[in-house]
Structure 1
């Protein structure tokens, strides 16, 4: 026996990526996800793009454990969640939070109370600590001035930013954004993109953003997955997407260029 063979080899990490899909299939009355594979490393941002109804939001639902794949593996926080119980999934959801397109704020609560609600189950804070955390989170998203307002008083963009602040109350490792700039004006859209970048850099957050907004994609995403009819027809660096020769990718990008020209003409 050689000297080196006397030492046991360090086993490789079976789940090296923070989030990963391995050959995931999901069908309802028709296939929604077809052999989808991708990964996101710690501290990185993935954008999932494509036309409506191609499986983008379904992918987020699988990451949160709200749905299970028909086959394949879903890895979240370096853990295969495919067969976890609901109790085990709750532990994962403390690490990964989701910012819904609607914002999902409580209309009857003020902005500060909405964020405070997310802290109520935290036993490591007393009441004064919780108020300080609320103030700190609103300061982080530059919305200290809206603490006492109600969701009905806010623009769509402000509601999204408040929803992001509330998601941070859980001190997550990862945030999933579902169409964060839909129905938001270009200036606020840019502000949301800057906020996402700032949180990534300051907190080291891992992120996945589902979006139709290619300006946002170019600003925040390290990698991109393009879904078409449930298949990942592109997965790779954001900077390389424009070079893809896949006709559906090129058609999607061409439609974006037409929209940009239209905005320029309008101004």
Structure 2
């Protein structure tokens, strides 16, 4: 399958590293102009340099904006008024006992994981509908369907993304614009590697080995019995953004390695 996104402009939020950066690489390699986003000018500049090395000839721009509040979203939209592809990847996560999770924490997760996607979709969808072509993708999580007891606040925000993407798909029905969610499971992201640095030093084990051990201990229902790579997650996103995926909308597409134990 030859995915050609030449002439399309794609914004990937939180794309200076991890899954977001891998998505940016995949879209750029398919010919899209890519807009990288991070919270600081330095991280965005480094990501642009890295992208230029990874995808020679790429056409890219960078926008530093913290999308955890309205002002950050407004700052991004002032610089990037229209896109063809929006990948809502920005998000925060972390374990915390339900009884210790205060209102401010709930607000932080809601603003970052849900409202950033609401605000950007509300801004960009009308232009996509007017052109009769566009792609919006929410990077949710298997935690949206398999709510972790130690991260209820996170799971709730990820479930909300599924409802939001499904509702938006209905809202733009028949327009030529698609809206979908992609649900990664355990992934060998930059965050996971950082989390495992001490354990790697202590045991001498590779991050891949520690990743497999983590999956088998914490997500034993996994069918692939290992974490996904960021590239494997990005591959699904790039496909959903393609012209070939025009009949896929309103879907929750799992890249969780089969962690969620059902047949849907």
Q: TM-score range by the shorter chain?
A: 0.3 to 0.5
Question: What's the TM-score, normalizing by structure 1?
Answer: 0.34
Higher-Rg structure is: 1
More strand by share: 1
Q: For CA contacts below 8 A with separation 6 or more, give which structure has more relative contact order.
A: 1
